Amino acid sequence: MAANKMKAIVWDGTDYPDCLIYRDFDVPELQPGWVLIRPLAVGVCGTDIHLVTGHTRYLVPDRNLPAVLGHEWAGEVVEVGDGVTGFQPGDRVGIEPILSCTVFGDSCPMCRIGKYNLCQKGLTHVGVPLTRMLPGGFGELSAVHHTRVFHLPDHVSYQEAALLDILGVAVHAVNLSNPHMGKTAAVLGCGVIGLDMLQCLRVEGITDIIAVARYENQAEAARELGAKEVVLIPSGGSPLEAVRRLTGGQGVDLVYECVGGMTDAVAQAVAISATAGSVVMLGGSSRPTPIDLQEMLLKEVNLLPSNSYSTHGRLREYQIGLDLLSNGQVNHSRLVTHCFSFDQYRQAFETALYKGREGALKVMFLRS
pLDDT digits (tens, 9 = 90+) for 80-116: 999 999 999 999 999 999 999 999 999 999 999 999 9
**Quick one: 122 and 244 in the same domain?**
no
- Residue from 308, 231, 227 nearest 272 by CA: 231
pLDDT tens for residues 329-358? 999 999 999 999 999 999 999 999 999 999
Same domain, 66 and 33: yes
| Residues 132-159: tens digit of each pLDDT | 999 999 999 999 999 999 999 999 999 9
The answer as to whether 319 is a domain residue is no
List C-alpha distances in Å: 129 to 139, 155, 304.
14, 32, 27
Check: CB of residue 104 under 8 Å from CB of residue 111. no
Does residue 317 lie in a domain region? no
33 and 101 belong to one structural domain: yes
Q: Same structural domain for residues 203 and 277?
A: yes
Residue 107 lies inside a defined structural domain of this protein: yes
Quick check: is 36 in a domain?
yes
With pLDDT > 70 as the criterion, what percentage of the chain qualifies?
A: 99
Nearest-CA neighbor of 196 among 41, 94, 329, 49? 329
Same domain, 17 and 137: yes
Q: Does residue 321 fall inside a structural domain?
A: no
Residue 312 domain flag: no
Task: Assess whether 199 and 153 both reside in one domain.
Answer: no
pLDDT in tens, 272-301: 999 999 999 998 776 777 889 999 999 999
| Angle in degrees, 0-180, between the axes of helices 164-177 and 192-203, rounded to the nearest 10 | 50
Counting every residue, how long is the chain? 368
Domain boundary among 305, 324, 355: 305
Alpha helices in the chain (DSSP H): 46-52, 109-112, 158-161, 164-177, 192-203, 216-224, 240-246, 265-272, 293-299, 317-326, 345-353, 355-358
| Alpha carbons 166 and 2: distance in angstroms, whole number | 34
- Predicted local distance difference test score (pLDDT) of residue 289: 78
Instruction: Give residue-wise pLDDT tens across range 223-278.
Output: 999 999 999 998 778 999 999 999 999 999 999 999 987 788 999 999 999 999 99
The percent helix, strand, coil of the chain (3-state, each to 5) is: 30, 25, 40
Report the CATH number that the domain containing residue 33 is assigned in CATH.
Answer: 3.90.180.10
Residue type, 136: G
Can you give the residue range of the structural domain that contains 113?
5-163+332-366
Q: How many separate domains does the chain show?
A: 2
Tell me the H-state helices in 15-157: 46-52, 109-112
pTM, whole model, 2 decimals? 0.96
